[in-house]
Amino acid sequence: MKNLFVVIISIGLLMSCSNNSTMIKNTYQWPNTAAPIAATKPYTRIMHNDTVVDPYYWMIDYFKKGPDSSKVVDYLTLENKYTDTMMAGTNNLQAKLFTEMKARIKEKDESVPAFKNGYFYYTRTEEGKQYYKYCRKKGSLDAKEEILLDVDQMAVGKAYYSVSTISVSPNNQLLAYGIDEVSRNQYTIHIKNLVTGEIYPDAIALTGGDPVWANDNKTLFYTSNNSVTLLSEKIKKHILGKSGNDATVYEEKDKSNYIGVGKTKNGQYIFIVSQATLSAELRMIHADHPDTDFKIFQPRMKNVLYDIVALDNKFLIRTNWNALNFRLMECSLDKTDSSNWKEVIPHRKDVLIQGVEEFKDFIVINERKNGLVNLRVKNNITGKEHYINFEEAAYTAGLGANPEYKTSSLRYNYTSLTTPSTVYDYDLNTKVKTLKKQQEVVGGYNPQDYQTERIYATATDGTKIPISLVYKKGLDKNGMAPLLLYAYGSYGISMDVNFSSTRLSLLNRGFVYAIAHIRGGEDLGRQWYEDGKLMKKKNTFTDFIDCGSYLIQQKYTSSNHLYAQGGSAGGLLMGAVTNMAPELWNGVIAQVPFVDVVNTMLDESIPLTTNEFDEWGNPKNKDAYFYLKSYSPYENIERKKYPNLLVTTGLHDSQVQYFEPAKWVARLRSMKTDKNIVLLKTNMEFGHGGASGRFDYLKDIALNYAFLFALEGITE
């Protein structure tokens, strides 16, 4: 994340020609400074009779506390100094970009209040403050404000500060919340008395930050994590004020499963979820009886996922059991195993059921068709159905904050590449929608100044890959415009279009921004995901390359002006396409990139490794090992030319550990035959998600943009 830059040319002036050349461009003068050279200490890996020598394996030692632990920090510090030196010429531009992007954010703001159990809950921010305040009002928005947590005050003096989802007791008097001050997603749960303001001495460390109250207002359930692997291993029960160790109510033996605990919206049940990529199992108790044993809802079945919502008289089950795109089923409250499930909405080849929002008299089904979300409303009493109408051809819609069960008002969110984030309340009876709030872009914003498109590239195997684009009107499609292509492509996560006020700083300087909806996500249904994981993972990479090539063919850009960006698993994508088609990109931004795939998946002590076997494959299996090795970015670096690279990571990253990008950069530098720039920036205080403050993250974006602008010669 955060980084500093270099540009040494005079400030460009605005030109009055086409969108392609709104800024004077100059060649950026990179300082003649030598990059750090990492020490090599050969480490031999032998697996399936395959011998691999890893010269940079020693970099793993910061968390392993090995003999090279301090040398790791020294090396990362040298890399940071090199990046700072190389980018120093863009410091003024970065400062300008930060100020420009921050100025578009409404500093004094408030979320749309959400009603639950007699109170309106909301967050608000104040001018100049990095964080926010959790607040509520009893019964009416005209009532006196009650500040539950003042995070601005709590975070004073902290380099990083994150509050997990807050949980209010059923009697509205107690607040449970988690705090992470290291950025490794390990939360300490605290309990506050909302009547007296007292913070109780109960402090529960190493949790998932997911406290769930039983209906007795004194019993809390939470996820307990392993201190080394950080895996969610146990669900424990804490009784307010009771000393001694908390009782374990469930322990997960399968290390490939994530576990968590939650509560149904109607407040009747507490459930434990154990889920891997390919299977799920739920347990539950009645929330009135926290001392009873959890009962299995339906034992885990091979390759079967399911989740539930509770209505007053039945459970609804969303499952892929004999239904690739999922179907909706139901069962009684007392007979929950699959032999008693009855179909409510059948499987459809062209529609993915993504989720269900339940209310006392309605359910709202979140569906995806042709890459777009549809919200389907069904009356539980009459059985009548309808869809909510969305006006734009390309958009993103999603269910908003709907914590109240006994209501006929649905809150949903809406955005597009040109429509700022918008919140609506929709009357499920009258079908009338009410605009509650639209993101304000301070300083003014006219969506009519920008153009969006949705085009389709043809993949190597003939599959049509959607690409969403946005740019400032006046673009000449002559191949001269700079274009930033973004994608993720893993875990079935769909890359829906959205509005970004920070992106305006890119578009207003002549860039085209594009999202490649590649396989590995669920953009076009569950099969889209299945065709981009495990032994089909390379489809993700070739899809992205084919999208880049198509954009060049259609003269949106050229290889001299085409840039790629992705983070985490999208950083793996960046590493793979950099190896596979280095000539296609002028520059690549790889954020917290998962690039040392084989070594990470072989080391079960690394956080999250065992949870990922069904996504990537277990390299202890010979076929999986050689397939992973065939695309792992770190192991496929060759002696050839590579594009310019900006690589960012965080020392405390718990999801993609710092040593993966560090090793990758060191090896790239030792192998590449060109003079292009490779920069590594390690944030020494943060983890996977970067800075926690609501403005600090803009410095990361300013660095990314300044890197692109330096390569384009844009100085203003």
Q: What is the pLDDT of residues 266-292, one digit of tens each?
A: 999 999 999 998 899 999 999 999 999
Distances (CA, A) of 3 to 80, 85, 680, 706: 8, 10, 9, 10
Alpha-carbon distance of 264 to 168, in angstroms, equals 14
450 strand-pairing partners: 472
Distance CA 562, CA 587 (A): 7
Q: Please report the pLDDT score of residue 24 as a whole number.
A: 54
Closest CA to 36 of 648, 650, 680, 671: 680
What is the topology classification, in CATH, of domain 19-103+450-712?
Answer: Rossmann fold (3.40.50)
- 8 Å CB contact between 191 and 176: yes
Question: Given a cut of 80, is residue 122 above it in pLDDT?
Answer: yes
Provide the pLDDT for residue 111: 95
Calpha distance 548→554 (Å, rounded): 10
Distance set, CA 120 to CA 112, 125, 177, 403, 436 (Å)? 9, 17, 18, 11, 14
DSSP letter (8 states) at residue 145: P
Higher pLDDT, 609 or 625: 625
Residues 467-518 pLDDT 10s: 999 999 999 999 999 999 999 999 999 999 999 999 999 999 999 999 999 9
The model carries a pTM of 0.89
The mean predicted confidence, pLDDT, of the chain is: 92
Catalytic residue among 54, 653, 696, 700: 653
Cα Dmax for the chain: 74
- 441 φ/ψ angles, rounded to the nearest 5 degrees: -95, 105
pLDDT tens track for 421-433 = 999 999 999 999 9
**Which of 217, 270, 264, 262 lies closest to 360 in space, CA to CA?**
264
Task: Provide the pLDDT for residue 16.
Answer: 29
Per-domain boundaries in the chain: 19-103+450-712
Residue pair 8/27 in contact by the 8 Å Cβ criterion: no
Q: Treating both helix axes as pointing N-terminal to C-terminal, what angle do 69-87 and 659-671 enclose, rounded to 10 degrees?
A: 60
* Catalytic residue list contains 652: no
* CA-atom Rg of the chain in angstroms: 26
Chain CA centroid to CA 393, Å:
25
Residue 99, amino acid: T
Tell me if residue 653 is catalytic.
yes
Are 272 and 223 contacting, i.e. CB atoms less than 8 angstroms apart? no
CB-CB neighbours of 673 under 10 Å: 10
- Residue among 568, 632, 654, 692 flagged as catalytic: 568
Please list the residues that pair with 366 across neighbouring strands: 355, 375
- Residues in a beta bridge with 452: 470
Question: Whose CA is closest to 328, among 294, 397, 314?
Answer: 314
565-588 per-position pLDDT tens digit: 999 999 999 999 999 999 999 999
The share of the chain scoring above pLDDT 70, in percent, equals 95
Over residues 406-418, the mean pLDDT reads: 97
- Angstrom distance (rounded) from CA 247 to CA 204: 13
Alpha helical stretches, state H, 478-583: 504-507, 526-530, 538-553, 569-580
Tokens of 588: 């690549």
Burial of 337 from C-beta contacts in 10 A (0-12 / 13-18 / 19+): exposed
Q: What pLDDT shows up at residue 689? A: 54
- pLDDT bucket at 610, cuts 50 / 70 / 90: confident
- Give the span between the Cα atoms of 426 and 198, in whole angstroms: 39
Exposure string over 555-589, b if 16+ CB within 10 A, otherwise e? ebbbeebbbbbbbbbbbbbbbbbbbbbbebbbbbb
Give residue 4's pLDDT band: very low, low, confident or very high (50, 70, 90).
Answer: very low
Q: Which of 531, 654, 688, 692 is catalytic?
A: 688
Banded model confidence at residue 365, pLDDT cuts 50, 70, 90: very high
pLDDT on residue 522: 96
Instruction: Tell which residue, 471, 466, 468, 436, has the closest CA to residue 451.
Output: 471
